[in-house]
Amino acid sequence: MLATLILWGHALAALLFGALGLWALRSDGLAMPRMPLSAALGVTALWALAVAGIGEADLVTQLAAATRNLAWFGFMVALTRSGAIERPPAAIGTVFGVVAMVIVMAMSLDVLTSASPGLPRAVLDAALLLKLLAAVAALLLVQGLHSALAPRQRHAVRPVILALGALWLVDVNLFSVAWLVEGWPLQLVAVRGLALVCIAAAIAAGLQHRAARPVEMSRTVIYQTLALIGVGVYVALLAAATSALAAIGGANARLLQTAFVFGSTAAILALISSSWLRAWIKVKLAKHFFRHRYDYRAEWMRFTETLGDPAGAAPLDERIIKALADLTDSPAGVLLLPQGAAMVVGAGWNVARADLPAAYGESWQTDRIDPAHIVELDTGEGADTAPPSIRAWDQAWVVVPLPHQQRLAGVIVLARPPVPRALDWEDFDLLRAAGRQVASHIAEERAQEALAEAARFDEFNRRFAFILHDIKNLVSQLTLVARNAERHADNPEFRADMVATLQDSAGRMNDLLARLSQHHRARTDPPVAMPLAPLLRRIARSREATHQVEVVSKGDPLAIADPARLETLLGHLVQNAIDASAPDARVTLAIAELGDAVAIDVIDRGCGMSPAFVREKLFRPFVSSKPGGFGIGAFEARKLAEEMGGRLDVSSAEGRGSRFRVTLRAARADATVFGNAA
């Protein structure tokens, strides 16, 4: 089975590398040296074919492997001279020469051992170690070339460089295991054939790619791959150590092996759990493996997710600090907000206010803060601009202003990360962009708070306007009572009506004061089935002392309404009808059943209104046809009718009076819902 995998895997790899060599030879416009690349691909194809045809241990195959490495070194040298490498590593030619000498020495030992099979084992081990050393050196050269790629050639050359790294990484694993187990691992040889196929595919992607369509390696994939490589190295070292303990441990070998496995595993877990070590590894990988320190797409997605508002999330001020701190691996932070001409502590993330110095940051005047300048307190330029009160917090590291439309929305002071480092241009650019973004969130929240406060004032003003209108109606009613008292004070019936009117007015005034209180909340009770005739008669009786109001009702229909709202609504309409009528003109309250609805008509024979006024101005607030009127009654009446699920219609003619009709649902039409209430 292994022989079959080795045969077919390496044969397929030979076919692919040969095809790639011909493709590179015939392609124009490659970003890489064409002839050296084609030669290296061709030699790699011959080596893979030799592995598949005559075996790994044959001298021809070993010589082909050495030639393959030299050919790829030649390609890398040509690549450094073609302009694809922006900053070639120092003494690159000398390094290539030394590694080439190591390869030649290993090849010489292969020839020697093939000519003299009886040589000691040490010679074979030396040849294997030289090959391992050459593969490791090749990996270091690949890493140097990768970090020095010119920007204009990076997207086309990078897949080939990474494929070369994978090629020698496979060799490193193969030679390491062969040296540890003192034998040739056929399983890894079989896996190498499949790996060569993948490497050929990566090189094909590089040959096909042009700078117009860049390919970026995922940092997550790279980190996971490096983690897997680390696990593999750990397992290999563990196997080597346990084999050595088995050889030298004697009777206690099993005990020593168990202790070593548990001890090394515990040590690895302790190191992995160290936040300092993780931060150090992240810094080193970003510095040596990537052109940019940050994966901007991943960082921005995490940043915006932190700023979001999921259920149960921390307050916005704390999320803002955390979002900014996560960008630089900072463990804590403090948000300072402008208050007048000074700064005050607004919130903290992973730091309690008790841990901050008293009056932290309050000595920093807002006019002395440059919104565009990020201050690194340890060594950064302009660190002396921050007052001593900022440095009084021993963890203070970076001060990030939050500018919003030429104004300072706040300042965030970040704590030092587990691995202290100096900020570079990428850090400053990212923090500056993130600072502007969180400043907009702060400004938006403040604007929302201002709008909510304005809405509360608007609700209070609207409530006050309605109440003031009701007070005006009460004043008008009491004025009429006082005026009629001069003529009818001796009439016992008038005195009784006057007392009832005064009691009703006092009760209504107390209700108005309660509605004006900040603890009052609008009624939210659902409408119920209620009789209308008793309510209309009570409203008519309350006006008897001031004006004649009659009630016309056929039967006692039930309607779906809120009693308090309906009484307020009809009170507005009746008072408006009285104000529009002559003192001796009757106002009529009529009830009519309209199938599934009930209509309440308030009819007066006063001056009336024009169709244009009814259409354009009647229901607009603060517009009135009466001298001194507030223009609130009709507006509030229609609003109350709509809140009960009804409507308010009006018909009027100048000089002939007006009819206001309140239409509500009849109770019998909703008997299944409101039967109990009825």
Secondary structure in 3-state letters for 251-299 = HHHHHHHHHHHHHHHHHHHHHHCCHHHHHHHHHHHHHHHCCCCCCHHHH
Question: CA angle, 311 as apex, 310 and 315 as ends, to 5°?
Answer: 75
Task: Provide the residue type at 326 as one letter.
Answer: D
- Cα 551 from Cα 518, distance rounded (Å): 37
DSSP structural state of residue 250: G
Look at the pTM and tell me if it is higher than 0.85: no
- Given this model, what pLDDT does residue 214 score? 47
Whether 317 shows a pLDDT value over 80: the answer reads yes
**pLDDT given at position 519:** 43
Given strand 647-653, what is the order of strands in its sheet? 549-553, 587-594, 597-604, 657-665, 647-653
Alpha-helical runs (H) found in 517-632:
533-542, 563-580, 611-616
Q: Which CATH architecture has domain 523-674?
A: 2-Layer Sandwich (3.30)
Query: pLDDT tens for residues 550-590?
Result: 999 887 889 999 888 898 889 888 888 888 888 889 999 99
The pLDDT assigned to 678 comes to 33
pLDDT band at 418 (very low <50, low <70, confident <90, very high): confident
Query: What per-residue confidence (pLDDT) applies to 285?
Result: 61
403 φ/ψ angles, rounded to the nearest 5 degrees: -85, 145
Distance CA 487, CA 539 (A): 24
- The predicted model gives 280-299 an average pLDDT of 62
Residue 271 has pLDDT above 50, yes or no: yes
* pLDDT greater than 60 at residue 218: no
Stronger pLDDT, 395 or 623, i.e. the higher one: 395
Is the pLDDT assigned to residue 345 strictly greater than 50?
Answer: yes
pLDDT score of 540 more than 80: yes
Mean pLDDT, rounded, for 160-177: 85
Task: For residues 426 and 293, give the distance between their C-alpha atoms in angstroms, rounded to a whole number.
Answer: 7
Give, for 93, the enclosing helix (H) or strand (E): helix 92-115
Is the pLDDT confidence value at 135 over 70? yes
- Please choose, from the candidates 101, 95, 177, 92, the residue with its C-alpha nearest in 3D space to the C-alpha of residue 137: 95
Quote the pLDDT of residue 362: 79
Percent of the chain with pLDDT over 90: 7
42 Cβ contact list (under 8 Å, min separation 6): 17, 18, 21
Instruction: Please compute the mean of the pLDDT values over residues 417-443 and round it to a whole number.
Output: 81
Nearest to 440 by CA among 398, 486, 484, 404: 404
458-465: average pLDDT = 67
Residue 277 has pLDDT above 80, yes or no: no
Provide the CA 220 distance to its chain's centre, in angstroms.
Answer: 19
pLDDT over threshold 50, residue 429: yes
Q: Give the residue with greater pLDDT, 363 vs 584.
A: 584
Mean pLDDT of 290-318: 71
What pLDDT score was predicted for residue 215?
Answer: 46
User: CB-based contacts of 128: which residues, under 8 Å, 6+ apart?
Assistant: 175, 178, 179
Confidence of residue 629 (pLDDT cuts 50, 70, 90): low
What is the spatial distance between Cα 363 and Cα 385, in angstroms, rounded to a whole number? 12
Question: Is the pLDDT score of 224 beyond 70?
Answer: no
| More confidently predicted of 224 and 130 | 130
Residues contacting residue 643 through CB under 8 Å, at least 6 positions apart: 562, 565
Per-residue pLDDT at 674: 37
Higher per-residue pLDDT: 103 or 283 = 103
Q: How far apart (Å, rounded) are the C-alpha atoms in residues 30 and 209?
A: 9
pLDDT tops 80 at residue 292: no
Structure tokens at 348: 């903290």
Mean pLDDT, residues 154-169 taken together: 81
pLDDT tens-digit readout, 462-505 = 666 666 666 766 777 677 777 777 777 777 777 777 777 777 77
pLDDT of residue 521 exceeding 60: no
pLDDT band, residue 310 (cuts 50/70/90): low
Lowest mean pLDDT, pick from 289-303, 371-385, 435-449: 289-303
List of residues 6+ apart from 27 with CB closer than 8 A: 34, 207
CA angle 632–516–473, rounded 5-degree value = 40
Query: CA-to-CA distance for 418 and 280, rounded, in angstroms?
Result: 8
What average pLDDT is seen over the chain?
78
Under 8 Å between Cβ of 75 and 42: no
Which tokens sit at 227? 């983690």
Q: Which residue has the higher pLDDT, 190 or 218?
A: 190
Long-range CB pairs of 168-177 (<8 Å, 24+ gap) are 168/135, 168/138, 168/139, 168/142, 169/139, 169/229, 170/195, 170/196, 171/131, 171/135, 172/132, 172/135, 172/136, 172/139, 173/232, 173/236, 175/128, 175/131, 175/132, 175/135, 176/132, 176/236, 177/236
Cα distance between residue 573 and residue 637, in whole Å: 7
Reported confidence tier of residue 514, pLDDT bands at 50, 70, 90: low
Neighbours of 585 (CB within 10 A): 15
Work out the pLDDT band at 127, boundaries 50, 70, 90. confident
Is 200's pLDDT higher than 60?
A: yes
Each residue of 380-408: pLDDT tens digit? 566 667 777 787 888 888 888 888 887 88
Question: Which has the closest alpha carbon to 300: 308, 311, 312?
Answer: 308
Do residues 183 and 150 lie in contact, with contact meaning Cβ atoms separated by under 8 Å? no
- Work out the average pLDDT over 444-450: 80
- Between 493 and 103, residue with greater pLDDT: 103
Give the distance between the most distant pair of CA atoms in the chain: 147
Q: Are 409 and 442 in contact (CB under 8 A)?
A: yes
Q: Can you give the pLDDT at residue 630?
A: 57
Output the pLDDT for position 220. Answer: 61
The residues near 103 (Cβ < 8 Å, ≥ 6 apart) are 66, 69, 70, 130, 131, 134
The CATH code that applies to domain 300-442 is 3.30.450.40
CA dihedral 243→247→253→256, nearest 10 degrees, is -60
| 3-class secondary structure, 189 | helix
For residue 219, pLDDT beyond 60: no
Give the pLDDT band of residue 204 (cuts 50, 70, 90).
confident
**Span 325-348, mean pLDDT?**
86
Residue 223 has pLDDT above 70, yes or no: no
